[in-house]
């Protein structure tokens, strides 16, 4: 939402859709969004635990 001169409001998506509509219908990529997000979160969790282990090992070496 873009506010112009404190009176006019503009939604860029709706403005572009009205002024230059798409010739082809849009597709969602990836096709199954829920599955994609779950896979991404699983990867982020694995990265987090790997980094946490690395920091723990560095801390133990520092203490020793």
pLDDT reading at 1 higher than 60 = no
Q: What is the pLDDT of residue 62?
A: 92
Say which residues have a Cβ less than 8 Å from residue 10's Cβ, sequence separation at least 6.
Answer: 1, 2, 3, 4
pTM for this model (two decimals): 0.45
Say which residues have a Cβ less than 8 Å from residue 36's Cβ, sequence separation at least 6.
Answer: 30
Percent of the chain with pLDDT over 70: 83
pLDDT reading at 44 higher than 60 = yes
Q: What is the pLDDT of residue 29?
A: 77
pLDDT tens digits, 12-41:
777 788 888 878 777 777 778 788 889 988
């Amino acid at each position: 939402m873009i506010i112009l001169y404190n009176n006019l409001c503009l939604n860029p998506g709706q403005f572009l859709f009205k002024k230059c509509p798409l010739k082809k219908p849009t597709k969602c990529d990836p096709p199954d969004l829920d599955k994609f997000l779950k896979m991404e979160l699983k990867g982020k969790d694995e990265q987090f635990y790997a980094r946490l282990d690395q920091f723990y090992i560095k801390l133990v070496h520092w203490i020793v």
